[in-house]
Structure 1
Amino acid sequence: MALRTKTALLVGLLFLLHTWGVKAQVKVEMEDRVEVTLGTAAEIPCLYTTDDGFGGLIIEWFYLDPAGKQHRIYFQDPTMRIEETNSQFTGRIKVDVTPSQGSGQVLLRVLETRLGDEVDFICLVKSLTDGNDQGKTQLRVFEKPAHPIIKSVDKDIWFNNEEPVKIGSCEAKNGYPRPNITWYKDNTPLSNVPNEVSVVSQVATGSSGLFSVESELSLKVVKEDQGSEFYCEVNYQIIGGFGMLESEKKKIRVSYPSDEVNLWVKSPKRDIKEGDTVEFECLGNGNPQPLVTFRNREMVELNAINNVLELRNVSRLDSGLYECVTTHIETFEEVVGNTTLFVNYLEPADVSPEETLTLSQGADLNQSCNALSSLKTHTVWMKNGVKVATGNILSLRDVVYDMAGTYECMVTVPQLVGMETSAAFQLIVEGSPEISEPQSTSLEQAVESTVVLTCRARGNPRPTITWRSAGSLVDSQSNVTEDGVLSWVNVKVSSDLNVSCHASNTNGNVETLYSIKARGSGVIIAVLIICLLLLAILGSVLYFLYKKGKICGRSGKQDLTKEKTSRDNIVVEMKSDNTEEAVLLAVNGDKKSGDQ
């Protein structure tokens, strides 16, 4: 009852204002376009101003269908709000009015946007005095497509096709609005060129209204396309601009025959020497690599694996021209590549004039060592592991026994590590014997002791050693050593003696003399003499004390009148073990014949 009363009063008021000719001014402002992602809520504002002081407004929302027909979806006046129940937006819109003095905003919210919501929305605002205005906003809905999928041709593409052949396809699904696909080759965009490039696209619309685009690229392939990268780019609209997605990159395989073949030594990467294993590799400029045949200079076919030829333990006889051959699959003409192999060599070393040389002491020697080689050589002479000379000629002057032995010449090729050879010769030196001087030939030994004397001699022929003492031969023992003969004797010392070592061969002889001094009776006699001298001195002292009365009870006073003896005579008697004669030694006096 109250609603009906309010409505009647409003109708009466409107009639009265219309009768009086009063008309308010209304102005509406709206955005040209509102963009939204599919499935999210869209907010469409409608701003208005009015000079109607009564505060009553009528608000209506409409949309235009594709045919341009207008459909109302919402009505509001000061007394009621009505949402139309028979539109595509029923149950998905909300309208909020924010009034202010003389202005306000009406906000239409479309929930869970669909592709069909992409229409023009009209906001109509009327005053109670017939003043009205309206605005229009276009709603745009976007959906980003899935990442593009590219599929390339799996087989090899023959390069000489008369017309473009399929390279691959690219697909972008479920985008809105319709996305576009652009093809690229090595970062360069491709476009349709008659008989060169063909790009064909197909668009499909699903039940959801989203677009799926598939594009197929065909290309007239050339050799240079081998290994080129192809990919597709999808461009699509988004809120406020555009987006872009790139597919993965695919390489195509282009087949074409070889018109050039290259042959080279793959290993070793250095000069080749005898004994090496050599690998040749042959490659054509076609794709895929053609099968090749290897031939040597005698045109003999050689077995190879995967276009690689292996020669083991090569010699200088393997030097020469080598070829690899392939056949053009269209013209059946042979395409040939070749290279030249040179195998370096070093022949065994040879010494001359002989491998065993016998020289007399003081002679000279010139021995040569030669080894034929394809490269420059270096020769070193060694003896017992020590370098003695360089160069292919070994020169020895005034040879002596120490120069005898084995000499080895080593020939190397500095340019190639491991390229070497050697030879040896034996030098024999003949001459008279030589005795190695002992540390001492003068010895002093105790009587009745035994001394071992040694004598070392060398010579060629090997010398014979004998020992003599006092003109007689002495029994000895001998051993043959590496450089001569070692002999020794055991000598019992009874007195001073000389022992000689004699070394002799067919070229001469030499002698060394040992002098041995016996130590024994002479020393004892010397000791006895010293003892007797000490006793004589002691007796003189005692006799002097006796005379002075210092001993034997004599008075300490002397008879001053008694004639003083001019000298004191002290006699010591010595007896010799050999002569048993008495010897008187006078100390400070003359020799006496009687007692004192």
Structure 2
Amino acid sequence: MAARINACLLVGLLALFHTWGVSASVEVNMMDRVEVFKGEPATIPCMFTSSEGVGGMIIQWFYVTRSGEKQQIFYQDATMKVVNKGTQFSDRISVNGTGATGEIVLTISNVELKDELEFICLIKGLTEGTGEGRTKLKVFVTPDSPSIDGVKRGISVSEDGLSKIGTCEVKNGFPKPNITWYRNQTPLRGDHDVVKVVPRITTESSGLFSVTSELSMKVTKEEKDDLFYCEITYFVPVGVMMTETNPINITVYYPSTAVSVWVESPKGHIKEGDSIELHCRGNGHMPSSILTIIHENDKYSLLNNVLVLDNVTRLNSGVYQCISMDTDTFEEILGNTTVFVNYLDPAVVMPEDTVVVFQGEELKATCNALSSLQTHTVWMKHGKEVSTAHSLILKDATFDSAGMYVCVVTVLDIEGMETSGTLNVKVHGPPKIMEPISNEIEESFEGTVELSCKVRGFPTPTVTWTTSDGKLLEMASQIETEGEVQSNVSIKVTSDITAFCNASNDFGTDAVTFNITAKGNGVIIAVIIICILLLAILGSVLYFLYKKGKICGRSGKQDLTKEKSGKDNIVVEMKSDNTEEAVLLGVNGEKQAPNNQ
């Protein structure tokens, strides 16, 4: 009933406006475009005003097909809202707003690429007034990461025409991405004689675009170190995005104009025995080039532009010439360097090997080594420096002067360059026993003493051990080196002993005495004597007491006549006369013979 009244009122108002002859107007405002990523919802607002007021308007939504026709997708008036069926939007659109506020919004969910169309919002007033607005829906898809692929082969500067540098590709973008080539951060523009960029666009079955771009150039030597990469630009809602590929470089072949040859190692001075590494390189880069090194009458092939000479000698000194030949043109380019191998001959010691001097004499020796550089000579003994000259002078020779001397000749300018020689000095003289720490030794009775005797002399002395009573002692051990003897003996101490270490050679003798005192033998004898005395005293006391009758019975002759306390009681009678006869009385006081005891 209310709907019918509203309808009557609406008809009456229309008639009234028509009767009055007032011209109604409707104004619609919409955005030029709405941008959205594929798969997201798109919101298209429609705002309108009317001189009649905004209530009771008829609202229609359309889209323009690819062929240019208008296709309605939604209708709304004061009594109904209808979504048209059978369109690509039937199940994906919704409209918010009644029109009473002057704003109505079309929402399209899960936007697809085919939704990139123009949408029309049509507003009809209560009279003849009509307004229309249009918005284009733009759909975007971010492309995959781009890739770049450079040519694998080298490019010669002598090639005719343009040479392919590489290919860039970006896939699955919408709208179509753009590719720009760069060389060292400078964009490359097409130039038919120098640079050529060929793009190729592919529309995938999904409707997305894939773009490939191929770069070709006339290559020069200057491009040998250049970096090439691609810049990809693509559109997104309300903006443009950019990404870059990794840079690539190309191998450029170009002929040499000069050749260099040098010693890579060792750095600085070269000495005999070193390994020399010679490098040869042209300033070009051509696979057809052959490098060869020539030294005097020797010709060497190189491996990776390197020649290695092992264990060089002074004969390896001289000029080394490197030849670069292009097998295409047979042109040769030369370069050279000079190598000098320093040398140090073996040390020569005079006198040679072994020298013998007598005690008190003077010895003079020399050491020299021929070298290409200045040398420094040092004489060493037992690792200690004894002289810093070519000559070694030993005055007033002693046994301490004997031994092995090492002459070391060093080239100061080159580390590790040295030679050496030896001189064995022997000093003739009689034995000399090194003074022991102590000649007076105390040891417990029955203990063992270890004696040691160190003797120097040349020829090497003979060592024996004896005692003061002429007894020859057996050595426990003996260590002999040239000109020196270490002799040891073990002695068991049973009394005070005097031992002698005797040394002799062709030039004389020497001896040392060890006095050994046995600790504890006098005390034992004293203890034994005291014990004997104590025993004697104890015996005397016992005998005295016995004589006085203080032991074994009462004093004097007494009858032991106690009453019998039992069957087996024994009575003892002691006599004090000189016979010291003891009579044992049997039971009942009867005398018994001693053998019946």
After superposition, the Cα gap between the structure-2 partners of 1:110 and 1:399, relative to the gap in structure 1 and judged at 3 Å, is closer
What letter corresponds to residue 222 of structure 2 in structure 1? E
Structure 1 position 46, deviation (Å): 1.0
CA distance in 2, matches of 1:116, 1:189: 35
Give the one of 251, 259, 262 matched to 1:261.
Answer: 259
CA distance in 2, matches of 1:208, 1:229: 35
Q: Does 1:165 align with 2:167?
A: no
Structure 1 gap segments, 5+ residues each:
444-454, 465-473, 487-500, 515-596
Q: Does 1:141 align with 2:161?
A: no
Structure 1 position 327, deviation (Å): 0.7
Deviates more, 1:154-163 or 1:18-27: 18-27
CA distance in 1, matches of 2:207, 2:454: 121
CA distance in 1, matches of 2:285, 2:251: 8
Structure 1 position 457, deviation (Å): 11
Q: Partner residue of 2:34?
A: 34
Structure 1 position 69, deviation (Å): 5.3
CA distance in 1, matches of 2:506, 2:54: 160
CA distance in 1, matches of 2:337, 2:77: 101
After superposition, the Cα gap between the structure-2 partners of 1:482 and 1:94, relative to the gap in structure 1 and judged at 3 Å, is closer
Q: Does 1:376 align with 2:360?
A: no
Give the one of 164, 179, 186 matched to 2:184.
Answer: 186
Q: Does 1:128 align with 2:108?
A: no
Structure 1 position 71, deviation (Å): 4.7
Structure 2 gap segments, 5+ residues each:
441-452, 463-469, 487-501, 514-597
CA distance in 2, matches of 1:248, 1:343: 49
Q: With structure 1 as the length reference, what TM-score do the two structures score?
A: 0.67
Q: Deviations over 1:487-530 (max 9, x none)?
A: xxxxxxxxxxxxxx9x9999xx9999x9xxxxxxxxxxxxxxxx
Q: Partner residue of 2:96?
A: 96
What letter corresponds to residue 350 of structure 1 in structure 2? V
Q: Partner residue of 2:343?
A: 345
CA distance in 1, matches of 2:403, 2:391: 17
CA distance in 1, matches of 2:352, 2:235: 100
The answer as to whether partners of 1:275 and 1:313 remain within 8 angstroms in 2 is yes
CA distance in 1, matches of 2:434, 2:86: 141
Q: Partner residue of 1:571?
A: none
The answer as to whether partners of 1:291 and 1:307 remain within 8 angstroms in 2 is no
The answer as to whether partners of 1:44 and 1:137 remain within 8 angstroms in 2 is yes
Q: Partner residue of 1:279?
A: 277
After superposition, the Cα gap between the structure-2 partners of 1:263 and 1:51, relative to the gap in structure 1 and judged at 3 Å, is same
Q: Deviations over 1:370-399 (max 9, x none)?
A: 111122222122345543211101223344
Q: Partner residue of 2:117?
A: 119
Q: With structure 2 as the length reference, what TM-score do the two structures score?
A: 0.67
After superposition, the Cα gap between the structure-2 partners of 1:140 and 1:295, relative to the gap in structure 1 and judged at 3 Å, is closer
CA distance in 2, matches of 1:351, 1:142: 94
CA distance in 1, matches of 2:310, 2:141: 69
After superposition, the Cα gap between the structure-2 partners of 1:504 and 1:296, relative to the gap in structure 1 and judged at 3 Å, is same
Q: In structure 2, the residue corresponding to 1:317 is in which secondary structure?
A: helix
The answer as to whether partners of 1:283 and 1:289 remain within 8 angstroms in 2 is no
The answer as to whether partners of 1:457 and 1:463 remain within 8 angstroms in 2 is yes
CA distance in 2, matches of 1:291, 1:166: 24
Give the one of 294, 309, 315 matched to 1:317.
Answer: 315
Q: Deviations over 1:446-501 (max 9, x none)?
A: xxxxxxxxx9999999999xxxxxxxxx9999x99965999xxxxxxxxxxxxxx9
CA distance in 2, matches of 1:462, 1:227: 80
Counting only pairs closer than 5 Å after superposition, residues 529-568 of structure 1 correspond to structure 2 as: none
The answer as to whether partners of 1:462 and 1:505 remain within 8 angstroms in 2 is no
Q: Partner residue of 1:416?
A: 414
CA distance in 2, matches of 1:15, 1:340: 117
The answer as to whether partners of 1:366 and 1:396 remain within 8 angstroms in 2 is yes
What letter corresponds to residue 60 of structure 2 in structure 1? E
What letter corresponds to residue 216 of structure 1 in structure 2? E
Q: Does 1:224 align with 2:222?
A: yes
CA distance in 2, matches of 1:33, 1:236: 18
Q: In structure 1, the residue corresponding to 2:97 is in which secondary structure?
A: strand
Q: Deviations over 1:212-267 (max 9, x none)?
A: 32211111112232243322122111101111232333332222233333323333
CA distance in 2, matches of 1:163, 1:202: 22
What letter corresponds to residue 263 of structure 2 in structure 1? V
After superposition, the Cα gap between the structure-2 partners of 1:215 and 1:511, relative to the gap in structure 1 and judged at 3 Å, is closer
Number of residue pairs matched? 478
RMSD: 4.6
> What is the identity percentage for the equivalent residue pairs of Structure 1 and Structure 2?
47
What letter corresponds to residue 55 of structure 2 in structure 1? G
What letter corresponds to residue 141 of structure 1 in structure 2? V
Structure 1 position 146, deviation (Å): 2.6
Deviates more, 1:167-176 or 1:237-246: 167-176
CA distance in 2, matches of 1:462, 1:167: 89
Structure 1 position 328, deviation (Å): 2.0
Give the one of 295, 298, 302 matched to 2:300.
Answer: 302
